[in-house]
Amino acid sequence: MTDARVPGDKSISHRFLILAALAEGDSRLSGVPASLDVASTISCLRALGVTVDEREAGVIRVARESDWRPPLTPLDCGNSGTTARLLIGLLAGLGVGAELGGDESLMSRPMDRVVYPLQAMGARINYADRLDRLPVRLEGRASGDLRALRYRPRVSSAQVRGALLLAALTGRQDVEILDRLRPRDHTERILRSMGAPVVSEAIGSGERVHFPGASWSGGLAPLDATVPGDISSAAFMVAAALLTGTELAVRSVGLNPTRTAFLRVVQEMGVKTEVRESGFEAGEPVGDLMVSPSQLTAFVLDGDLVPQLIDEIPVLAVLASRAEGISEIRGAGELRVKESDRLALLSANFRALGVRCEELPDGLLVHGSSVPLRGVVRTGGDHRIAMAFGALGAAPGCEIEVDDRDCVNVSFPGFWDTIGQFVAVEEAP
């Protein structure tokens, strides 16, 4: 059996860092990954007056030793949509004036999903250039003058939920969020572990989340936690193991039930998986994941599960290309506004490699085959496209080159060394 470890969870790391900055006292965080996205959050927090430093090997101290301060220059969120959307919510509640921007990819991604409800709460947020796109400018104002909000998001999104909870927390106001589908719940879990009275209630396939910010006078306890391994990164290792017939154990990985829908799909494909929980970190379950390879069969994925595995769809599509039968992915239109149009890139790259694939408005039909695949993958600078096809390159007889290996550093520095346990993937000249 091959043992593997993956970097700390990116989604959890963003939230650990931001919520630690709001805590009453110093927080100590271990296992924070050295990814570019997380570095963007750290850089922005420092620009706002938060102390983020490494006092001992592998342990980061987060503390706010003075008031939040308006940044002297625009906050650069890099490629990180989570950084941008969560900070917009944070600053809206604090009443701190700032401008937020990012790289070319991030500047093309929609922001109305957080800006509109925050404006409904009374935040003064304006687009500096194009509607619904970064850069955005938040006007400084007195903290605590937001209005309560009861909101039904058009898109079930952990980033939207996180932004609204941060605004309510720092603006001392009530918020109620009614999601049609259940997204990731990291923000709520971490807040509860720090002492905040966040209530979550299942409603059919969706969820109601309520935070009584106007009546809660408490503060957040500091964090002393280790970031679990990123299960979205582990998905690429699982794929490589399945494609090469390798038994795999991923150690100390996050097992949040709103993040393990990927495992339900691979189980539908005929794969045997085993999960062994070993404990919790700030409300987040952690443990080991074991996978035993088997013959892969096609799957059907509809919209209900998509919010919980949106990052894993590229690697599921790759597995579908080597499965028996035709796999169907629907309800995934959100992939068109990620770091790239992932549906278009997946379809185009499949066809270039010789995989029969039909692109749908909100998904894909992928025809499985055992024919050896050869060719060059165009990533569009998208880390998850690069890693998905990197995993596919592990399949016997496949010779796949990736045009931009460095883009994986957004989320998984060291990916190519880790995937090398299964096969070496070459970079296109």
* Residue 292, token pair as written in the block: 């035993």
Answer yes or no: 311 catalytic: yes
Which is the catalytic residue, given 179, 185, 311, 382?
311
**Dihedral sign, Cα of residue 193, residue 197, residue 198, residue 204:** positive
* Residue 52, token pair as written in the block: 């983020």
Residue 300 forms beta bridges with which residues?
328
User: CA-CA distances (angstroms) from residue 208 to 103, 211, 283?
Assistant: 34, 10, 19
Cβ neighbours of 192 (radius 10 Å): 16
Q: DSSP string covering 155-194, please?
A: S--HHHHHHHHHHHHHHT-EEEEEESS----HHHHHHHHT
- CA 112 to CA 126: how far, in whole Å? 11
140-172 burial: b if 16+ Cβ within 10 Å, else e:
ebeeeebeebebebebbbbbbbbbbbbbbbbbb
- CA 320 to CA 327: how far, in whole Å? 6
* Chain position carrying tokens 């990116």: 10
Strand segments, DSSP code E, in 333-420 are: 357-360, 363-367, 374-377, 399-402
DSSP letter, residue 337: G
Query: Is residue 179 within 8 Å of residue 209, measured between CB atoms?
Result: yes
* Preceding amide of 361 cis, omega within 30: no
Query: Which sequence positions are flagged as catalytic?
Result: 311
